[in-house]
Structures are given as C-alpha cells and as structure tokens.
Amino acid sequence: MKVDCWQIIGIDGDRSCPELAEHIHCRNCPTFVDAARWFLDRRPEEDYIDEVTGLNTNMSGGAVRDAGVPVMTFRLGREWHGLPVRVIEQIHAEEPVRRVPHRGNPGFLGLTSIGGQIELCMSLHAVLGVEGGEQSISGIHRWLVLRLGNERWVAPVDEIMGVVHVDRKAIQPLPSTLERSPDPASSGVFEVDDKRVSLLAPDPLLRRFRASLA
C-alpha cells in the first residue's frame, strides 16, 4: 500500500486537497488514518519468523564471530550505542512525523515518509529508557532506517559517530545487573575513543519496537 497524497496535495504538498477545508490537517483525514491502520495491522510475510530467528541466532548465540565486525555508532542523549551495519539500510535527514490518533505509547512517534513510502517512526530514547535528547555538534540530527526482520523502521538519533570495526575480543560482557534482565537490549559493551558504547542486539530491539505498537 502506497498512499502519500499528503505530500502531493496535502499539508506537505500544494495544499490543493478539498478535504483540508473540513479536516484542517492531513493527520485528521480518514485517508491518513486508514494508511496508519494498514501499517499497524498488516500481517507479516511468510518468512517473517525465519527472519527473526536468524537475527536471534546472529546476535545472541555467538553474536560476533569474526574480528572487525562493522558497527554503526551513534548518540542518544548522553549515551553512545551501536548497531551492526547489516541492519542499517540508510541514514536519512529528518522528515516531518505525523502522529497517529489514539496511539499514546512513547516508543511510537508516528508515521513518516522516506522516499515516498510510509514508515513507522520509533523512539530509541523511549524503548531503551534513555533520558532526553541533546543537540549534536553539527546542529543536525539524523535518522536511522533499519531493516529488522522483514520490516523497515525509522529511528531518530541525536548524533552519528560513524562506522567502527570492533574486534570480538574487545566486546565486554554486560554488567551483572543488566545480564539478569529478562530481555536485555544490549549484547555487550566496547570502547571507542574513550567512549563507552553499548552494542544493541537487533532481535530484542525488534521486540521492543513491536511492543510499542501494541
């Protein structure tokens, strides 16, 4: 389903849509709500379970097998985190986010459009329990477009540090308090330029994103 009339004749387009007179803003229009409902209620594809199982095997059962694993590192608030480059589809500039009515979970920011496709925009700050966000040195925040399972997810970050290649021997285990968590989001920690970076595991992150839509 591809519906992006709000970018063409709606609030982000030339505003020629006759429905604007009644609804004032696209987010109040049934077309936008129907598009949101389709994204939230769509059934996963047949190979979804296999995809998720693969992520779990890769990240939790001997997650980093080879030296020099490429990791995209970024900042959330005052914390530094990383994700395997294999789940990063692209880095994108900020786009408008449209809230979905009656969806109040802080982990779900709303819907956005990347390349004309409607995407779910999630808050890494909320799903990871990171407080606030800070201005980047460049003054420009970035969005990560992630491929988790067979789904695309968009997540804003406060600053991108870049790709580092991490030797598996340099990845330290989680503190005991976090290891006892029933579903820790991180698979370990490592250091880059005196920064302590949490290596996020894609499978738990996927579960947290999906839980935020419930």
Tens of pLDDT, residue by residue over 134-158, are: 544 444 578 999 999 888 999 999 9
Total domain count, the chain:
2
Cα dihedral value 34, 97, 206, 180, nearest 10: -130
> Quick one: 57 and 36 in the same domain?
no
> Quick one: 37 and 106 in the same domain?
no
> Quick one: 17 and 66 in the same domain?
no
Q: And the tokens for 181?
A: 């968590």
> Quick one: 36 and 102 in the same domain?
no
> Quick one: 208 and 162 in the same domain?
yes
Whole-prediction pTM: 0.64
> Quick one: 87 and 58 in the same domain?
yes
> Quick one: 15 and 66 in the same domain?
no
Q: What angle do CA 201, 111, 96 make, to 5 degrees?
A: 105
Q: In this structure, what CATH number is given to the domain that contains residue 106? A: 2.40.50.180
> Quick one: 112 and 196 in the same domain?
yes
Cα dihedral 80, 83, 205, 209 sign: positive
Task: Give the lowest-confidence range in 16-25, 70-79, 175-184.
Answer: 175-184
Residue 103's pLDDT band, with cuts at 50, 70 and 90, is confident
Residue 97: CB partners within 8 Å, gap ≥ 6?
109, 110, 111, 112, 121
pLDDT greater than 50 at residue 60: no
Q: Which domain holds residue 52?
A: 48-212
> Quick one: 92 and 188 in the same domain?
yes
pLDDT greater than 90 at residue 206: yes
Q: Which residue has the tokens 């769509």?
A: 42
Residue 139: what pLDDT?
46
